[in-house]
């Protein structure tokens, strides 16, 4: 199980780096122009499709996590919602899975 938790942690790190790197490119090109950022999010049907998919996937993750965290004995799941909102699902989901695996490892010992 230790290998699985390491994989989840590596994916969480990757899930944090990739969005921030892309955001860094945006800032390098446009500065910290939040109006332009919002315009680009809704600039095409494809961008809206991806945004909608991520929003629905995040809601599914929150619902599942609200049931899974207590079942796994993890306590509060709100920090992962905050991670999802501040960074993204690509970070929050593997981070949650990492902590769940760690909890399972401790409980099994």
pLDDT score recorded for residue 1: 56
Range of the structural domain that residue 38 is part of: 2-108
In the chain, the number of structural domains is 1
SS3 string, the chain, reads CHHHHHHHHHHHHHHHHHHHHHHHHHHHHHCCCHHHHHHHHCCCHHHHHHHHHHHHHHHHHHHHHHHHHHHCCCCCCHHHHHHHHHCCHHHHHHHHHHHHHHHHHHHHC
Residue corresponding to tokens 């809601």: 59
Where does the pLDDT of residue 24 fall: very low under 50, low under 70, confident under 90, or very high at 90 and above? very high
pLDDT digits (tens, 9 = 90+) for 50-89: 999 999 999 999 999 999 999 999 989 999 999 999 999 9
Task: Give the mean model confidence (pLDDT) for residues 30-42.
Answer: 94
Give the predicted TM-score (pTM) of the model: 0.91
């Amino acid at each position: 199980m230790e290998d699985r938790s390491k994989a989840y942690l590596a994916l969480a790190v990757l899930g944090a780096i990739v969005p921030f790197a892309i955001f860094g490119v945006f800032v390098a090109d446009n500065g910290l122009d939040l109006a332009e950022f919002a315009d680009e999010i809704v600039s095409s049907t494809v961008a809206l499709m991806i945004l909608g998919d991520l929003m629905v996937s995040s809601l599914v993750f929150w619902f599942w996590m609200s049931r899974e965290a207590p079942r796994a004995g993890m306590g509060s799941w709100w920090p992962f919602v905050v991670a999802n909102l501040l960074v993204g699902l690509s970070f929050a989901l593997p981070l949650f899975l990492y902590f769940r695996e760690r909890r399972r490892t401790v409980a099994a010992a």
